[in-house]
Each structure stands twice: as C-alpha cells, then as structure tokens.
Homo-oligomer: A and B are copies of this chain.
Amino acid sequence: MGISSDVIRGCNDTIILCLLLDGPSYGYEISRRIRLMTEDAYIIKETTLYSAFTRLEKAGCIESFPGFAENGKRRTYYRITESGRRYYREKCEEWGLTKTVVERFIREENP
C-alpha cells in the first residue's frame, strides 16, 4: 500500500513549487528528487508532473526557459515566480488547516 493519488492530488503543486524554491530545475530532476526525498514512498507519474508544469506556468507560478545538459542535450527548465512563492505559502497554510481537520477523523486506537 502506497499513497493514493486522491490524497496527494492537492499537494503536487506544493511539492513542485517547494523544489523550485532551491533554484531552477527540470522535469526529470524534480521527479528524481521527489523519489529521493520520500525514499520511494512517492513516485510522481511523468504525465502528472508535466501536466502540472503546464498548469503552473499558465497560472503564472512558474516560468520555463531552455537550457542544456552537460552533453549538450536540450532541456526545459522552470523557475518559480514571485506569484508562485505566494501561492506556495498559501498552500502551506492550507495544508496546516487540512491536517488539523483530517486528524479529527483519524483514530489510531482500536477503531
């Protein structure tokens, strides 16, 4: 049993923006860092990731720009915008609230 996509659904934007706070990055790297940071507990699907990029860029939270790997291969990099930082902060607040709410309905002892 892993993490259901329905639970993580509202958090993918938060996760991606969080990683972009450390500086520009690109799809494959973001995906790798999520795997590493969660010890494989969460492996984001490629389609989910790239569609999130599109959505976040349309919303003005991130900006794309072309870049190159060491070997000269093209890559699409993304950087977080000021509005993206604001959105991230809001999402963190929302998470705090959500956590409080949900935990009222979690019973660890003999349910």
Seen from chain A, the residues whose Cβ lies within 8 Å of a Cβ on chain B are 1-11, 14-15, 18-19, 21, 37-38, 41-42, 85, 88-90, 92-95, 97-102, 104-108, 111
Chain A's interface: helix, strand, loop or mixed, by majority?
helix
Q: Are A94 and B4 in contact (CB under 8 A)?
A: yes
A68 to nearest B CB, angstroms?
Answer: 28
Q: Which residues of B contact A6 (CB under 8 A)?
A: 9-10
- Choose from B4, B105, B111 the contact partner of A15 (Cβ within 8 Å): B105
Among residues of B, the one whose C-beta sits closest to the C-beta of A4 is: B10
Q: A3-B97, A92-B111 are in contact. List 15 more A-B contacts (CB 8 A).
A: A1-B93, A3-B98, A4-B10, A4-B94, A7-B95, A9-B9, A14-B102, A14-B106, A15-B105, A18-B107, A37-B104, A41-B97, A85-B111, A88-B111, A99-B99
